[in-house]
Amino acid sequence: MPGNIVLDNPLFLRETITGSKAEREIVGSVMGYLEEARADHIKEEPVGVLNWSEKYCEIEYTGFKIPCHAMPYSLSADIEGQIAFARYIGDRIVVDTPINDKIVLIPLPSDPDDAQYVLFRLQEHGAKAIIFYDELPGRYRRIVLTGAQGFPFNYGAPPPIPVVDITKEDFLKIAKTYPRSKLRLLIDTEVRHSAVGYNIIAEYYSHSDKIVAVTAHHDHWFIGYSDDLIGLEAILRLAYKLSRERPKHRVVIISFTAEESGAPGFAGWYWGWGSRVFINNYKDSRFFEDLSLVINIDAVFTIPIRIARNPVLDHCLSSVYVKYNIPDNRIEIDQPYYDSFNFTLAGIPSLTIHTFPELRINYHTNLDDGKESPPQLPSYIINIVYDIIRSFDPESISLKPFHRFFEEALEEAGIDMVEARVLNQKLYDIASKSKGLEKIRYAKLFTKMFIKPIATDKIDGLFEAKIYPELTILHDYKIVSMALKYLEENNIEKTKELLSQLYRRYIPGHVIGIPSISLGGSLYLDKKLLNELLKGIRHAARMVFIDLNKRLDSIIKEVIKQ
């Protein structure tokens, strides 16, 4: 099919929320395109979702009305109150007047996902509603907010107070007339807990039993050009290409529902629900056993692209890195923000093609309309995807990045423990005994056991994937050791600077967190205290090594079976 398939189609260029009528219409259209592209097998699979929608959002102040957009999952509200202003200084929220029982106006954080943190801090201090305003004129943004602390997979709650977003120029109207009268906030939203979204699956057969899945998502906020109509455009163009040219691998094209929102019960991990359901439906099937690679396309805004991948794929992707001039600083570990990461957690080697940092300025805004993206972007993505499919060889997968990570972590920490020496020997045994065996099998085992998300609950906090994040305890050991050395030298400032790097960490979706330290806002700098802290961390590190050795034992058993 010549030209753009969805990027110029008004049916797609509108806000499409999972479980909505708009999604149902898009699904029907996509199914039609896939039939035209002669897929060997096409189906849509229903997914139970939470559907949130906004009917009305307006602010009344000093005789004029200001349009607003409710932040999902804000509930309907009619609130009147005095206003207060807040701002940021570093990682602190600062207010000029008490905010108890007031409607607080505050800039949207530079990292929009920090809005969840701001919500909790302001609500704890008595704010009755929050109005985020943008730093750029004419820009609205949607960020899903919940009442869940952290990112549990099961359930949460709606935001404890209503939250809306306005433009910079509308904020200036309010600021200019402050404090003449009370502000009134009117929101009308609807939540449906038994809505249905749809995953779309199309298969292109080959003689190989190995499966490569190419995925995107069709739900989006506002226009959603980069997030993720560009991905939907790419997988449909790939479908037409596959109708003419079949690669050696069996290719499955999937468009997911509920990537942006929709996990039932206001779950804290509200995104990526459609792909989680898909994985749960297929995890015990032959399909999942044969699934060797997932290529996801999401949040692509510009050129050059970035690749967030499982490190075991680097050898398979080396020719693609060279051909498309993708430098090391644009190659990352697969991240929790993408559908691919759900496959990574399930053990499947996966990657996402994206330019998320470059998209950040337009992320989830009405300005994500494609006007700033190069016109050749869809074709560029398709070429990369097709080259990855053609060059992918499951036997080129390498476990060396995992081995190298553990060896470097132990070497950097410098902790001389029996458990650490045993661990090194086991890594060597696995590397030597698994030669000649099916590499994809062991890549799946390592991936499922060792790649996890890690988060910190603070503004500008980290939320990323790491290989076995439990080993960050070794970082703590090194920091406290150095801090103790500086304290003995009476270098108090350097001691405090080092100790400030210790923060609470946890694994989202899990009840038990990783070994971590929280020292609060201040620390009584005492040599005896730090020595005891060091002993405690050393003990925790030993427990981590014991756990890691058990995990490696289970992998060795699998190797011996073969």
Domains of the chain: 21-52+193-394 (3.40.630.10), 54-192 (3.50.30.30), 400-561 (no CATH)
Provide the pLDDT confidence category of residue 2 given band limits of 50, 70 and 90: low
| Segment 152-172 mean pLDDT | 94
pLDDT at position 511 is 57
Alpha carbon of residue 546 to chain centroid: 30
Residue in the structure block whose two tokens are 């297929």? 282
Which helix (H) or strand (E) element contains residue 253?
Answer: strand 250-256
Residue in the structure block whose two tokens are 């820009």? 139
Per-residue pLDDT tens over the stretch 366-382: 999 999 999 999 999 99
Determine how many CB atoms are found less than 10 A away from the CB of residue 425: 11
Lowest mean pLDDT among 146-160, 429-443, 487-501: 429-443
In the structure encoding, which two tokens stand for residue 178, read together?
Answer: 């402050």
pLDDT at position 521 is 52
Cβ(335)–Cβ(296) below 8 Å: no
In angstroms, the CA 12 to CA 370 distance is: 13
Per-residue pLDDT tens over the stretch 505-550: 888 876 567 777 766 555 667 888 889 988 998 888 888 888 888 8
In angstroms, the CA 66 to CA 174 distance is: 9
SS3 state at 173: helix
Q: What share of the chain is helix, strand, coil (3-state, %, to 5)?
A: 40, 25, 35
Res. 153: pLDDT tops 90: no
In the structure encoding, which two tokens stand for residue 42, read together?
Answer: 């096409």
Mean pLDDT of the chain: 91
pLDDT at position 177 is 84
pLDDT at position 562 is 59
Task: Kindly list the distances between the CA atom of residue 462 and the CA atoms of 113, 274, 397, 457, in Å, as whole numbers in the listed order.
Answer: 11, 25, 29, 8
| Segment 352-379 mean pLDDT | 95
Could you give the percent of the chain with pLDDT greater than 70?
A: 95
User: Cβ contacts of residue 524 below 8 Å, gap of 6+?
Assistant: none
| Segment 230-239 mean pLDDT | 97
Per-residue pLDDT tens over the stretch 328-338: 999 999 999 99
| Segment 156-161 mean pLDDT | 95
Res. 407: pLDDT tops 70: yes
Report CA dihedral (236, 345, 112, 145) to the nearest 10 degrees: 100
257 dihedral zone (left: phi>0; alpha: psi -120 to 50; beta): beta
Res. 4: pLDDT tops 60: yes
